[in-house]
Structure 1
């Protein structure tokens, strides 16, 4: 069989030259990444300013990639209202292709992915690490809804716990499995707080991230659990969710003791602020979803001050109860 001839002779083809940031100016990437985090997550943007400058710039660039992937997967803008979910498989494929290009050092013509290119070059992020996060988007693309708590936590691992591991990487945390496990725990706590806050919004988009067996205990169904007449029972399920959040939050504090001071302060501040979101949801009960819950600036400042004391003293008592699932229990996901 005759081999097809290339359209252009190989002697004229020049491979792309790998360039950090896809050839973009690093300062420009940092600036645009900060704009993304300040619009997409005010709580995390607030806490991130406590990092030393090199760390916070890497954190912002990593966030820019995560935010861009999330927006592409959900057809939304900066974490806003979910868009039309038709064509999600094509958007997922775009995420995979652009991520591969970025980690190969190739330009992507997209700021979020070029930011990944830059931070991966600086911190040694690999395609396998990035794919752990992308698996979470694939779960959504396949209409994931967890039958059990473990499956809910598996989803949380891929969309947030794996991001916690990447955060430990960009902070140049000690390369120790215990510390990386605690970084994962913090990501899991963040995601549980997000699920608690957004459960009604997710339901409007046809999504349910609460374990079906938890819902069944309250006589609820996954397709009607967030209806207004079911909010009292829903509040009981979400209270259990926030209890789980606190287990992961407490475990994460143990790992923070091993970080440098500025990093420890920022991580503990973020943990307190996100934890406050979950606790506000639990405290408001069936009224929690009448208005979007947030932590106002003066409360954030208070959490930062308390976290400063914890960071200075390295106060992090051993948890009375460890979370039921570890990082190794939740990965990998086959078939997604």
Structure 2
């Protein structure tokens, strides 16, 4: 695989690692799509290094047992990428290209690495704000970097981009509650668990699925204002980028709808959208993108979690 051209490697990484976003990514203009793939490859690689996996699967080649040591490796290599040093690992060569071309602030990259550090530290989340802080580091900041790849510099539009990342991650948490719990991780707020009379250790127990469905539905509802905010950011994007983002928004939001409708059966199989559903959402996304050309900018809904500035 290492003999493949870099763009082929990162394209394969996207296709295998994120089927939900891969469809939308094809809608970007070629330069934006290339940078999107490069950025995704680095994000995926960092996630896998911390988890000791390859594209979410076991049997990785990352041999360092200590997650903190793996974290340090990622930080060192990210600094080297920004310095312009020669990068041996394909994911860091990819990141170096996108970071330097689009002048991604180093703080954003290290904010993203902090999300992986939170996993390495096995951090717990007392309140919903704590969960949102985690969502910012693993996904909201990716929205910020993606927006910059699309040429966005306006802080208000960047807020909307961050909100979409938060919405995506809240949906992911709802979809993956049981899988995460099986891996010893829980991103649900402890306050919510207390209200439901549950402990993190009980999340994999099928007899608690009804209570779990209630918590998942609550997450999906909490994601809605962030999805709404994302729509308000579409006018600030180039047309093809707006189409891609509107489509990705629709695909992820539909996964949340499926989790909510499935109730206690939501974790019997992994919730996903079919090819026909993706096609319909692609068409709908086109309509949203076109409409956004004449839409008046909308203020961000009040009361949403605010990213650090």
User: Is the TM-score greater than 0.5?
Assistant: yes
Instruction: Show the counterpart of 2:185.
Output: 207
- 1:322 deviates by 4.2
Instruction: Show the counterpart of 1:89.
Output: 68
CA contact (8 A) 2:167 2:226 kept: yes
Counterpart Cα distance in 1 of 2:250 and 2:173: 17
Give the 3-state SS of the residue equivalent to 1:257 in structure 2: helix
Instruction: Show the counterpart of 2:90.
Output: 111
TM-score by length of 2: 0.93
CA contact (8 A) 2:235 2:297 kept: no
RMSD: 2.2
CA contact (8 A) 1:235 1:285 kept: yes
1:100-150 deviation line (CA, Å, top 9, x unaligned): 111111122110011011111210023222101001011111111211000
Give the 3-state SS of the residue equivalent to 1:223 in structure 2: helix
**Alignment partner of 1:293 is 2:271:** yes
TM-score by length of 1: 0.86
Counterpart Cα distance in 2 of 1:256 and 1:148: 30
Of 253, 264, 288, which residue of structure 1 is paired with 2:231?
Answer: 253
Counterpart Cα distance in 2 of 1:317 and 1:215: 38
Instruction: Show the counterpart of 1:306.
Output: 284
Superposed, 1:14-29 pairs within 5 Å as 28-29=5-6
**Alignment partner of 1:40 is 2:17:** yes
Give the 3-state SS of the residue equivalent to 1:310 in structure 2: helix
Q: Which runs of 5+ in 2 are unaligned?
A: none
Number of equivalent positions: 304
Distance 1:320 1:160, change over 3 A: closer
Counterpart Cα distance in 2 of 1:178 and 1:57: 25
Distance 1:82 1:198, change over 3 A: farther
After the TM superposition, which of the residue ranges 160-169 and 306-315 deviates more from structure 2?
306-315
Counterpart Cα distance in 1 of 2:38 and 2:226: 25
Distance 1:124 1:225, change over 3 A: same
Instruction: Show the counterpart of 1:100.
Output: 79
Distance 1:326 1:102, change over 3 A: same
Q: Which runs of 5+ in 1 are unaligned?
A: 1-23, 332-336
Instruction: Show the counterpart of 1:149.
Output: 128
